[in-house]
Amino acid sequence: MLNCPLTNIYKTYLRPFLLIHSWLKNKIIKLKNKTMRYLITYFCLFGLLACVQEGNTQSKSSKGQKTKGQETNTQINLENMEQATFGAGCFWCVEAVFQRINGVEKIVSGYAGGKTKNPNYKEVCTGETGHAEVCQITYDPAKVSFDELLEVFWKTHDPTTLNRQGNDVGTQYRSVVYYHNDTQKQLTEKYKKELDEVKAFDRPIVTEISPLPEFYIAEDYHQNYYNQNPDQGYCAFVIAPKVEKLRKVFKEKLKKDN
């Protein structure tokens, strides 16, 4: 996984172009005409640069603007609500999954579990701060229980890979449950033990279970990321399949508009 500041560009633009390039590679090297090979390579690079420029423009234009979902979050009544904090790889993925669960009222992406105070994305991506990318979930226990959220958590990422989810590698991508109270701790440990006992996964679960440390809110452009950028590379190739799986496995737990 590339370290920041190129991490965002890699996830959003470069990874899809590498997939395209691998498909074109054989066709390019078969061309005897060197000029044609150079032209094809040039157009691939030109397309990548154009996408990066467009992404930067969209990012700048979206700053300071609230989406419909964000406006709803600021207006909810937090009375009788509870919170859960999960890390399961890139927080864009975690947010996109739990946003669609009925009873989840608000999600904030951020960083927790490290030694650096007020870390930024660039620092967290180096892996040197010790922080994990996490989502703090505010939910209505009358509509969805912590047990049900745990079920979604276990089934929408791989809890057996240490400091890794797919191609996202680093301690910031570790699987973790930061519990808010003793009840959450007991339920999480019990669930984890039962999954290991029935060998629900091919390997033992390595999910960290720790008390909630200080939580730092991530930068604005990370909030509601998938909903605002569904066509960008990382969203289309990595997050969209997770959301589609969620719709199939947890159809009865989804909000009506999902």
Cis peptide preceding 5, ω within 30 of 0: yes
Residues 6+ apart with CB under 8 A from 229: 12, 58, 235
| Residues 188, 151, 165, 91, CA torsion sign | negative
**Is 242 a member of any domain?**
yes
pTM of the model: 0.73
Task: Indicate whether 215 and 154 sit together in one domain.
Answer: yes
Task: Indicate whether 56 and 158 sit together in one domain.
Answer: no
What is the separation, in whole angstroms, between the first and last Cα of the chain? 31
Q: Which pair of structure tokens corresponds to residue 212?
A: 């909630």
**Is 2 a member of any domain?**
no
pLDDT for the residue numbered 98: 98
* Mean pLDDT per 10-residue interval, the chain, length 258 residues: 48 52 48 56 53 44 39 61 98 98 97 97 96 98 97 97 96 98 98 97 98 98 96 95 95 88
**Is 30 a member of any domain?**
yes
pLDDT for the residue numbered 147: 97
Q: Which of 4, 51, 90, 125 is labelled catalytic?
A: 90
Query: Domain holding 89: CATH number?
Result: 3.30.1060.10
Domain of 97?
68-253
Task: Indicate whether 228 and 159 sit together in one domain.
Answer: yes
Cross-strand bridge partners of residue 133: 111
**Is 258 a member of any domain?**
no
Q: How many domains does the chain have?
A: 2
CA–CA dist 81, 43 (Å, integer): 52
Helix (H) / strand (E) element for 25: namely helix 15-29
pLDDT for the residue numbered 78: 76
51 is an active site residue:
no
Residue 186 identity (one-letter amino acid): Q
**Is 136 a member of any domain?**
yes
Task: Indicate whether 151 and 213 sit together in one domain.
Answer: yes
CA–CA dist 218, 121 (Å, integer): 7
| Residues 208, 180, 100, 107, CA torsion sign | negative
